[in-house]
């Protein structure tokens, strides 16, 4: 049979950006589902006259609020990397990515501080198990983000500067920031 005529090389279709957007949707569903179950369990506990946050446990609010503010920094740095990559400014892009990693590490450090200050054992009831499940899942997303940022930074340092992966990386951090805002409100503020 006659073959179809060969066409021009396929135009770039922003594969990484689409992939990152789909991953973001999955992350939102993951956290949204967990927070929905959190709210349901909280309501059930309160409805039977019990307290949701165990007696004697205090959530340190300063590191939690600082973490929320830190995400403004992370998003800004990620966007700075996109801006620099568009101008093929490898130095600034690598620096912005490095600062993104550093800020993300600080967020993990703040979460570890929250854990130590709360003094809550993972086996201390439903609240504790769910608290560590939600925040632990969030820490996993942070760790993935740090690896993502590091990979992109090393690609730039190594001379493979392409914009698409930096934009995809920024989408990831925007989503993580939105997810933390939801956790901040449901877990730390509403309590």
Q: Look at residues 95, 98, 94, 79 and name the one whose alpha carbon lies nearest to residue 155.
A: 94
- Binder to another protein among 12, 49, 56, 159 (CB under 8 A)? 12
Q: Does 57 bind another protein (CB under 8 A)?
A: no
- Candidate segments 32-40, 73-81, 93-101, 106-114, binder of another protein by CB under 8 A: 32-40
Distance CA 182, CA 160 (A): 35
- Note whether 31 and 137 are within 8 A (CB): yes
Give the other-Cβ count within 10 Å of 49's Cβ. Answer: 6
- Quote the least distance from Cβ 76 to another protein, whole Å: 24
For residues 61 and 126, which CB has a smaller minimum distance to another protein in the complex?
126
Tell me the closest approach of the beta carbon of residue 159 to another protein, in angstroms: 14
What Å distances lie between residue 47 and 27, 56, 131, 185, CA to CA?
30, 21, 19, 21
Name the token pair of 109.
Answer: 């450090």
Cα 91–chain centre separation: 25
Closest C-alpha among 146, 75, 69, 67 to residue 111: 67
In the complex with another protein, which residue's Cβ is closer, 103 or 161? 161
CA–CA separation, 121 vs 123, rounded Å? 5
Of 114-153, which residues contact another protein (CB under 8 A)?
Answer: 122-126, 128-130, 132-133, 136-137
CB 165 to another protein: min, Å: 6
Give Dmax over CA atoms of the chain in angstroms.
79
Give the nearest distance from C-beta 113 to another protein in angstroms: 21
Q: Which is nearer to another protein, 70 or 166 (CB)?
A: 166
> Does 13 contact another protein by CB under 8 A?
yes
Cβ closest to another protein, residue 29 vs residue 72? 29
Chain positions 150 to 179 lying near another protein, rule: CB under 8 A, are 162, 164-165
DSSP 12: P
Binding residues vs another protein (CB under 8 A): 1-16, 18-19, 22-23, 25-27, 29-34, 37, 41, 122-126, 128-130, 132-133, 136-137, 162, 164-165
């Amino acid at each position: 049979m006659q073959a179809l005529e060969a066409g021009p090389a396929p135009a770039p279709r922003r594969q990484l950006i689409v992939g990152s957007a789909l991953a973001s949707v999955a992350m939102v569903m993951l956290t949204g589902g967990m927070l929905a179950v959190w709210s349901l369990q909280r309501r059930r506990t309160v409805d039977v006259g019990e307290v949701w946050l165990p007696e004697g446990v205090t959530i340190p609010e300063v590191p939690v609020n600082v973490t929320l503010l830190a995400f403004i920094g992370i998003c800004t740095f990620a966007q700075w990397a996109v801006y620099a990559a568009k101008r093929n400014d490898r130095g600034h892009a690598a620096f912005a990515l490095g600062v993104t990693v550093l800020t993300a590490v600080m967020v993990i450090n703040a979460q570890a501080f929250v854990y130590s200050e709360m003094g809550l054992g993972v086996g201390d009831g439903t609240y504790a198990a769910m608290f560590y499940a939600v925040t632990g899942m969030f820490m996993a997303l942070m760790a993935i983000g740090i690896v993502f940022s590091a990979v992109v930074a090393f690609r730039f340092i190594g001379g493979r500067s392409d914009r698409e992966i930096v934009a995809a990386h920024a989408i990831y951090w925007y989503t993580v920031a939105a997810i933390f805002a939801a956790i901040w409100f449901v877990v730390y503020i509403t309590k």
